[in-house]
Amino acid sequence: MRHQLLAAAAALTVTLSAAPAAATPPPTQYAALGDSYAAGVGAGSYDQASGDCHRSSRSYAALWAAEHHPAAFLAAACSGAALQDVVADQLPRVGADTTLVTLTAGGNDLAFADAVGACLQPFTTDARCDAALDESDRLLREELPGRLDTTYRAVRTAAPNARVVVTGYPHLLETGGLCAVGTEPRRVRFDALTDRLDELIAAQADKQGFRFADPRGPFGGHGVCARDGREWINRIVLTSLWESFHPTADGQSLGYLPVVAAAAEQ
C-alpha cells in the first residue's frame, strides 16, 4: 500500500511539473491617435512641445496612460486632424508591436468646425446654418463611409495584433430649454448629426472587429446649455477660439475616460 501511494504521488508530481506555465501577456504598447477630441483640446495643461496639435495631459489617452503605466505611450493625436492625416502623419509612427490603439476621428471630415461657426456663433442666419449642416450630411452619406473604411484598414495593417478602441463624439448641446447658444432647432439638428456620425463610426469599427466607446451616455446632461450649469463642453472661448466646443477636463476624465477604459479592458 505504501508503495502504491508513493507511486501515485510521483505520478502526480510528474503531471503537475509537466503542466505548461500560463502565458505572460506582452507589455502594453499604447498608441493614441486622432483629432482634437483625442488630443484633449479644451482641457488645458497642454504640452508646449506639441505645438498646434495642443496635446493635453488631461486628455482621456494621457489619463489612461498615467493610470495603467504602459511600457510605451505614443501620443500622436493632433488638433485639426482629418482621417487622411491619421493615415499619413500618425500611423507611420505606430509600431507593429503595438498592443492597444485608441482613435477619435471623423468629425473634421464632416467640416464640423464650419458647422459650429455657422450655427452656434452669434448673429448667424438660419440659412447659413442649414447650408453648413446640409453639407455635413452630404459628406457623411457620400464620403465618410469610404474614408473610415480606408483608415480602419490602415490601422489594422499598422498594428496587426492590437486591441483597437474607436470612440464616437458626445452631443455638444443640450436641448429642451432656453439658451443663448444657437436656437432650439439648430441644437436639435446638430445633435442628430452627431448621432448619425456615431452610428456610422460604430458600424464601420465593428466590421474590422474594433471596439466602440460611446461617450454620449456619460456626457448626457453635460453639454452646452446644461440646466444645472455643469457643462463638460466649452462654450466660445474668446481668448483661444480653437478650444471652443471641445470637452473640458471633466469631459475628458468623466465623459470619455470611463467608456474608453471599459472598451480597452474587454
What CATH number is associated with residue 141?
Answer: 3.40.50.1110
143: cell is 464620403
Q: Is the pLDDT of residue 179 over 90?
A: no
Catalytic residue among 54, 171, 222, 246: 246
Place of cell 498615467: 66
How far apart CA 198 and CA 212 sit, in angstroms, is 9
pLDDT digits (tens, 9 = 90+) for 87-96: 999 999 999 9
- Residue 15 resides in a domain: no
Q: What is the pLDDT of residue 183?
A: 87
Phi, psi angles (nearest 5°) of residue 113: -60, -40
What is this structure's pTM?
A: 0.89
- Specify the range with the lowest mean pLDDT, choosing from 7-16, 111-120, 186-195: 7-16
Q: How many domains does the chain have?
A: 1
11: cell is 505520478
Q: Which amino acid is at 207?
A: K
- Residue 162 resides in a domain: yes
- Residue 155 resides in a domain: yes
Phi, psi angles (nearest 5°) of residue 174: -90, 150
Q: What is the pLDDT of residue 236?
A: 87
- Residue 90 resides in a domain: yes
Quickly state the pLDDT bin for 188 (edges 50, 70, 90): very high
- Residue 223 resides in a domain: yes
Q: Which amino acid is at 61?
A: A
pLDDT digits (tens, 9 = 90+) for 72-126: 999 999 999 999 999 999 999 999 999 999 999 999 999 988 998 898 888 889 9
Quickly state the pLDDT bin for 22 (edges 50, 70, 90): low
Do residues 131 and 226 touch, judged by C-beta distance below 8 A?
A: no
Is 246 considered catalytic here? yes
- Residue 16 resides in a domain: no
| Domain interval for residue 195 | 25-264
145: cell is 463611409
- Residue 224 resides in a domain: yes
Q: Is the pLDDT of residue 6 over 90?
A: no
Name the 3-class secondary structure at 160: coil
Catalytic residue among 17, 36, 50, 68: 36
Q: Is the pLDDT of residue 17 over 70?
A: no
Burial class for 96, CB neighbours closer than 10 Å (0-12, 13-18, 19+): exposed
- Residue 10 resides in a domain: no
135: cell is 453639407
Is 69 considered catalytic here? no
